[in-house]
Structure 1
């Protein structure tokens, strides 16, 4: 709302000294205008020339730049400059101004302040509504609750989301793009680094994920990435404590393995597997302890001991 209330927002050029981010916002003005409804009140907030208050368009768009100079009101004039005693009162200095006076007669004036609505009168603008209106919706994916559950750790969830979309720039992709000359796994096991190799075919990450599963009281063979995802989808449904542990553990494992991969690639620093496991354990335990009270039963008691979560209730 702050942006669209500025008197010069609709007239700013998209080039010049503006930052890249600001230029991208300015390029979205036509999209915003399709959904915005400007409702005149007493004319105290809208730019007379540049806000699209006149039947969805601005005076400047309809009549050009010259019309600004004809009434001698200046570029910063507000709509209230042409309202007197509750009626439209445009100067008759030119044929354009006379035409505007006739055009605005069906636009009601009131004693309330000017208002801007989104899509329909009475509907206030919010970032959520704006995003839902302008984005292209895709089909819902089956793994979204595994990634975007309420108890997620944001940076872990984002990393897992990239993995689910196969968007991580693994070395096999970089080799295909000609960025690097070798796609060998940075964990020094002699195989090509791909998403499937990294999660969790590589012996280094395989051992980490196996240790994490053990802390979840899960003993089973580790399979390829797509099978591990499917197993998580089948065994991490709902909001019970063991389910939450599995979701957090899975995302934390993907995050810290990818972090270690980048550490070795870009910093030439190496962290032993046990320290990575300890960091996964720390992140999950802290989130569980801060996020909810531990439930007292034999199964949860075992999980809490595995992850180092105090059994007493939070104070």
Structure 2
């Protein structure tokens, strides 16, 4: 028996977003099962029941009554005995296999279908109980180098100018705009002094390695450094976007 996930005619009547989602119906079917006996039926039992492997439950069910032919094997007899113990209801109960409860969960389903990678050491620098999510999100994009810096935009053909909008001297790359630029480096120096840090690195890869090594525990200095880093990245990127997109300059 298959789950009902919408027919072709119904899909045409839906909006573009829903049509895109429903293209995943074949993937969704992998996660759906129906509550039943739970054991596979052998080919001999299927033959004895005068059925076939693709048959549905209604082949042997009419008006909530089982209409099996007399059993000619122990396997079929066992199946019939188990079925008579099942309470017949008006509707089948579909279970979502990605969760223990059988109920659909976006988080559990995403965990099942996403590509699994090894855990990185620096995740605790970004995601902790006092984090500000918008700051950590932009910080995460910076760490994995997915922000649309001007050097990337130029390669994509969306920009003719790839020079840093702050210093106007060097190519705008991730490490330059956040750490090497004379404008942002001065801000980082001041912030690190306030956090009583004198040995922090100013290349993002090295900064993450330093943070993973030095910023452990829940002490005041550790929390202060974590809370200071990502607002810095966030507001530098915000200022950069204001200049690029709106030609507007904010004060330090």
Q: Per the shorter chain, which TM-score range?
A: 0.7 to 0.9
Question: Is 1:198 aligned with 2:198?
Answer: no
- Give the Cα separation in 1 of the matches to 2:234 and 2:136: 8
Unaligned runs of 5+ in 1: 41-54, 60-78, 90-104, 274-315
Aligned residue pairs total 220
Question: Is 1:260 aligned with 2:239?
Answer: yes
Question: Is 1:19 aligned with 2:15?
Answer: yes
Where 1:237 maps in the other structure, the secondary structure is coil
**Match for residue 35 of structure 1 among 31, 34, 59:** 31
Which protein has greater RCO, CA pairs closer than 8 Å, 6+ apart? 2
**Match for residue 218 of structure 2 among 225, 239, 248:** 239
Does the aligned pair in 2 maintain the 1:213–1:219 contact within 8 Å?
yes
Where 1:25 maps in the other structure, the secondary structure is helix
Deviation at 1:16, TM superposition (A): 3.0
- Give the Cα separation in 2 of the matches to 1:15 and 1:203: 55
Aligned equivalent of 1:305: none
Q: TM-score, normalised by structure 2?
A: 0.74
- Give the Cα separation in 1 of the matches to 2:26 and 2:53: 11
Does the aligned pair in 1 maintain the 2:200–2:210 contact within 8 Å?
no
Query: Residue by residue, what CA displacement relative to the aligned partner does 1:133-159 show, whole Å, maximum 9, x if unpaired?
Result: 222212222221112223221111110
**Match for residue 153 of structure 1 among 108, 132, 148:** 132
Does the aligned pair in 2 maintain the 1:222–1:228 contact within 8 Å?
yes
Does the aligned pair in 1 maintain the 2:200–2:207 contact within 8 Å?
no
**Match for residue 228 of structure 2 among 224, 249, 253:** 249
Query: Residue by residue, what CA displacement relative to the aligned partner does 1:1-50 show, whole Å, maximum 9, x if unpaired?
Result: xxx99x6x33255863533331232112111211211227xxxxxxxxxx
Aligned equivalent of 2:87: 110
Where 1:139 maps in the other structure, the secondary structure is coil
**Match for residue 101 of structure 2 among 97, 107, 123:** 123
Q: Map of 1:45-56 to 2, 5 A cutoff?
A: none
- Cα distance change of structure 1 residues 20 and 153 upon mapping to structure 2, 3 Å threshold: farther
CA RMSD of aligned residues (A): 3.4
Question: Is 1:229 aligned with 2:208?
Answer: yes
Question: Is 1:165 aligned with 2:144?
Answer: yes
Does the aligned pair in 2 maintain the 1:260–1:271 contact within 8 Å?
yes
**Match for residue 154 of structure 2 among 175, 187, 212:** 175
- Give the Cα separation in 2 of the matches to 1:57 and 1:256: 60
- Give the Cα separation in 2 of the matches to 1:123 and 1:56: 28
- Give the Cα separation in 2 of the matches to 1:121 and 1:205: 46
- Cα distance change of structure 1 residues 139 and 19 upon mapping to structure 2, 3 Å threshold: farther
- Give the Cα separation in 1 of the matches to 2:100 and 2:198: 57
- Cα distance change of structure 1 residues 214 and 120 upon mapping to structure 2, 3 Å threshold: closer
Aligned equivalent of 2:44: none
- Give the Cα separation in 1 of the matches to 2:99 and 2:165: 58
